[in-house]
Structure 1
């Protein structure tokens, strides 16, 4: 029996030996191939970590090779850091004797966190190289990052070590009040175009104060951050018509990740909240994107002017107005998880030459929602004294993009004049678009406006659109959202029609 056992063990050893591959390596000869010769890490703010970028390294030879060293040229002082096939090396900067099998590849993942002082002062670029081997076999891949300076606004640390907080809707949240005499930033209630602003937590506007955003201001909100306009406080956005694609005079609100990967991802920051009792708001030429709720009005005191404003990619609402008074002109909203425009708990609204579209990827959203009630409120209903839509487009990917939630115990006054509207089920008495002249006049029903590129939030139209020249001159606003003169009769929506590039 013992002989059989010895033979069995010998057989196993022989089998493994016959299957063994020779893992001996040869030194690299400088013939590595790379997925790119330069890795661009996009733009980052100073001292904010970048996304992770990938470089793939190929061994095209028939030999298993050993790369004596993979390192950043600036060594341990480099602001870049790497992992090489999951290894962290020496602080992510230097890796020795890296094996790469024949006809195989390895992954290098690269990140950076750099200050503006680390960059070249002439172009604000921070650069380095990944070096593979040395001497005659040296190969290099360049790394390039644009570092952008910014004004950082954030909650300060209290004496007891806790973070500064403000109250919103009765809850303490991470936040701070903007200070017109801040020792470092000066007047924080005036946002200029000199540098972009990065906000952490909620930036609050104190009672009886006005926050002003000058033309060209850029505001970037960190995750779970936003702007809070408190009781008796005022917001003024004074953007203007831009003449280039850089939107040099537009005021822009967005998240703080500048990489192209994040350009259209919803929910990167919270909201601009207008508290009950806030007052005298004016918004002109604002582009707001990638929030949870874009503009959130909670029973502000007087009429809000919103003109030439674009709101995109919001997880819940583009505009959520609770018992508000809004005069809107040349507004464009697209992509919202619940509703692009939702006016609830009554109020008074007038929208002219606006494009409310919703192509969110579910079937339960709306482009426009109107309501005169609010569950849990006291009282639960509030009169909707006016909701007028003139020369507007209300469209999207759902069957019904217009929704009425009427409570008969309070007034519900609305009217659509010369609008293109998408609505599939017209059996309900509230949606008799052809015969109910009290509420609907000259409605174009379920015809495609042929937006230029909905997925890129380009809701311009051309002369083939069903919205072309269908407006009523009596409601016309002389200039469209881009400052282009409207024709007579005007096109519906926020954009005057134009020819698209072929």
Structure 2
């Protein structure tokens, strides 16, 4: 009798256990498949030893029953360069993860790539394996790594940076007053948040059209491609002379290139040619009592000023495109002008006082250039009526109000002003393309002397092959005979 009761109790226990499992309501079909928000997780170029940003994707249960994922694991295990956080649990292998009916869980992925001593980018791959009711599914992981040379809070003596590997600057790189930093064509220099390049000596950055020198932030994801204020910028202190930036790209900083400093005696000087300065939180080119000789430059999309020339100085700009269509990056509208010329600067202090700095604007020439943007008034003049204030716009398109007086021939020669002379850039808002449309009023109206002086544009196109040079940095060459 006791044996019979024991057997009966055992059977009842098994039945209860079976019913308990069924009550949990997990789908047990071997055909059950999870759905993923992406089948491949790709990391853009990542500097070796520097951890990536975190990427995430979702794992969705599309069924009317709960699903129990038996195992989620990183195929490379603990030897993988990738790391996982599975719905809040850190680990590269996790068991029995429940996904409620028609619900999702999140998986977060990071990667750190070890250096391999090579100069070329490397590819690191792995996969995440999901096992559900004996059904196995995979998500691919791909990351591109790049070795680099780290510059962290360094004072630089005379040296040359080469294109062999990119440079990654943390904090600052400082060229002292007796030294020259030479940067070879094709060199890429990346800056971490808050970092900058500062010089009391000289910087010679002489690129070519085929091998441009790039000054960029270290966030290389596509979503950061045109985001400003990711690093501080380049500063040439007063006393830093004969700097060269040719075929350079400077993007996504606070101030792209600052020439001169208010607290130092003397001036700074730079030759800026065939270069692009774009997407700055404050200013593209910010100069104080300095000397700048520039041609074939694009300076575009800055939160306050594209070009600010303050406390006097000597400036020459030829075939320059100053285009400010700021607005895609901030909810704060820009109320300032793209170009400011001033022989005075007033700096307010924290106690409500102010200090005024004055200087002679000995020369500010803009020839065959475009100054345009999405504000009504894109040129601001600040004259203290004490110091010299000499400037000339010659053969220029300018976005200014109709009331802006351009009658003085000492200051304005062959200028076209107002919205009716929109230069018709191809796409200044989304593609940031400042080349000229075929119907642009900037075509063929430049001073031929400047065209002969600078016969090639920023793309090395010939300016002398048609009826006249175009205004700005870009020459438009129309196809002939349908070719």
TM-score for both structures, normalised by structure 1:
0.82
Aligned 8 A contact 1:116 1:124 in 2:
no
Report the secondary structure of 1:277's partner residue.
coil
Q: Does 1:489 align with 2:468?
A: yes
Decide whether aligned partners of structure 1 residues 494 and 402 sit closer, same or farther in structure 2, where only a CA change above 3 A counts: same
Give 1:20-99 correspondences, 5 Å limit.
23-27=24-28, 29=30, 30-85=32-87, 87-90=88-91, 93-99=92-98
- Identify which range, 123-132 or 340-349, moves more after superposition: 123-132
Aligned 8 A contact 2:121 2:146 in 1:
no
Report the secondary structure of 2:57's partner residue.
strand
Number of corresponding residues: 435
Whole-angstrom CA distance in 2 between matches of 1:130 and 1:379: 63
Aligned 8 A contact 1:193 1:218 in 2:
yes
Residue 178 of structure 1 aligns with which residue?
A: 156
Residue 137 of structure 2 aligns with which residue?
A: 139
Report the secondary structure of 1:416's partner residue.
strand
Aligned 8 A contact 1:462 1:498 in 2:
no
Whole-angstrom CA distance in 2 between matches of 1:98 and 1:292: 46
Residue 213 of structure 2 aligns with which residue?
A: 251
Q: Deviations over 1:41-83 (max 9, x none)?
A: 1111101121222222222222211001111111122221222
Residue 202 of structure 1 aligns with which residue?
A: 172
Decide whether aligned partners of structure 1 residues 354 and 22 sit closer, same or farther in structure 2, where only a CA change above 3 A counts: farther
Q: Does 1:432 align with 2:405?
A: yes
Decide whether aligned partners of structure 1 residues 418 and 129 sit closer, same or farther in structure 2, where only a CA change above 3 A counts: same
Whole-angstrom CA distance in 1 between matches of 2:230 and 2:168: 13
Structure with bigger strand share is 2
The CA deviation at 1:415 is 0.8
Aligned 8 A contact 1:28 1:65 in 2:
no
Aligned 8 A contact 1:336 1:365 in 2:
no
Residue 383 of structure 1 aligns with which residue?
A: 360
Match of 1:298 among 260, 264, 273: 260
Q: Deviations over 1:166-214 (max 9, x none)?
A: xxxxxxxxx320245xxxxxxxx21111111000011011221110111
Aligned 8 A contact 1:28 1:66 in 2:
no
The CA deviation at 1:450 is 1.2
Whole-angstrom CA distance in 2 between matches of 1:320 and 1:389: 16
Report the secondary structure of 1:475's partner residue.
helix
Residue 103 of structure 2 aligns with which residue?
A: 104
Whole-angstrom CA distance in 2 between matches of 1:144 and 1:499: 43
Decide whether aligned partners of structure 1 residues 207 and 40 sit closer, same or farther in structure 2, where only a CA change above 3 A counts: same
Residue 222 of structure 1 aligns with which residue?
A: 192
The CA deviation at 1:312 is 0.4
Report the secondary structure of 1:201's partner residue.
strand
Aligned 8 A contact 1:126 1:144 in 2:
yes
The CA deviation at 1:106 is 2.1
Report the secondary structure of 2:458's partner residue.
coil
Q: Deviations over 1:356-381 (max 9, x none)?
A: 01111224122211110122598721
Match of 2:395 among 414, 418, 424: 418
TM-score for both structures, normalised by structure 2:
0.86
The CA deviation at 1:462 is 2.7
The CA deviation at 1:297 is 1.0
Report the secondary structure of 2:178's partner residue.
coil
Q: Does 1:478 align with 2:448?
A: no
Runs (5+) with no aligned partner, structure 1: 1-20, 155-174, 181-188, 243-248
The RMSD of aligned alpha carbons is 2.2
Aligned 8 A contact 1:450 1:465 in 2:
yes
Decide whether aligned partners of structure 1 residues 344 and 23 sit closer, same or farther in structure 2, where only a CA change above 3 A counts: farther
The CA deviation at 1:258 is 1.1
Decide whether aligned partners of structure 1 residues 405 and 458 sit closer, same or farther in structure 2, where only a CA change above 3 A counts: same
Aligned 8 A contact 1:150 1:198 in 2:
yes
Residue 8 of structure 1 aligns with which residue?
A: none
The CA deviation at 1:31 is 1.2
Decide whether aligned partners of structure 1 residues 100 and 405 sit closer, same or farther in structure 2, where only a CA change above 3 A counts: same
Whole-angstrom CA distance in 2 between matches of 1:123 and 1:178: 27
The CA deviation at 1:409 is 1.0
Runs (5+) with no aligned partner, structure 2: 1-21, 328-332, 348-353
Residue 7 of structure 2 aligns with which residue?
A: none
Report the secondary structure of 1:261's partner residue.
helix
The CA deviation at 1:475 is 1.7
Aligned 8 A contact 1:28 1:137 in 2:
no
